Amino acid sequence: MQAAAVTVAAVPTALLSNHPHYPTMRGRILDDGLVDDLLRGVKERGLVERATVLITGYLGSPEIAHWVTDFVADARKRNPRLIYLCDPVMGDDDLGVFVADGIAEVFRDQLVLLALLITPNPFELEYLTAHEARDVGDLRTVCKQIANHGCQAVIATGCTLADTASGQVETILCEAGPYDAGNMLLVATPRLPIRPCGTGDLLAGLTAAHLANGATLPDAMRYAVEGTHAILEKTCDAQAEELCLV
């Protein structure tokens, strides 16, 4: 986001040595009181009123999730123009749910209801709706279910559906409204022979950056997919285990 010339006020929820796909992981989740204190500082400096986009991702603990939910609800009252992007980081097809007990429920029952936009992977989308999206028709149905609770748009990331072309992976935008009227945007990219962690976080961050810079939601998603795929190609060429962000 900073590389896209966006001023970022980042509040960490954890200090960890690596993602959970390694055999070990060092560091710890931050104390919820510390996170709450940092969020208070963000409000005291008037950053909420000046912000364009608010993005949340990995939350660390149920207690932190509680403070973050309160912060988001208050921020949306303070700044009605604020775009809240919720990346419901809770799991994937490889590890299942990898967050502490209680966090996934906060995403499903509270944060998604506050969001204007969410960016789940297929595993997370199924958890949020209790329905599997096997094809585009199913995706319309589950996204409409989310929209009925207030969220205006869903970007489903890393999709390989029954009707996805062979060798491709799709990122699919569903916006609130009559889902049979064609207000879906599908962007397909070649599937590369790598699967590094963090691609969903990267796409969410790039989407937020482009929205902050004034792009429409469809354009923000297109630009984010292009940027993510370019980084994946670079990572593949370098035979690197971690995303080559620079």
pLDDT at 95: 74
Mean model confidence pLDDT for the chain: 93
pLDDT at 144: 83
Instruction: Please state, in angstroms and as integers, the Cα–Cα distance from residue 233 to each residue in 158, 239, 245, following that order.
Output: 15, 10, 11
Give pTM, 2 decimals.
0.93
pLDDT at 178: 54
pLDDT along the chain (246 residues), means of 10: 93 93 94 98 98 96 97 98 96 82 93 96 91 89 83 93 94 76 83 92 97 96 98 96 93
pLDDT at 181: 47
CA 228, CA 10: separation in Å to the nearest integer? 21
Report phi then psi at 214, rounded to 5. 100, 5
Q: Are 57 and 84 in contact (CB under 8 A)?
A: no
How many Cα atoms within 13 Å fall on the side-chain side of residue 243? 18
User: Mind listing the pLDDT tens digit for each residue in 67-118?
Assistant: 999 999 999 999 999 999 999 999 887 778 888 899 999 999 999 999 999 9
Full set of structural domains in the chain with CATH: 2-238 (3.40.1190.20)
Query: What is the DSSP pairing of strand 117-118 with strand 83-86?
Result: parallel
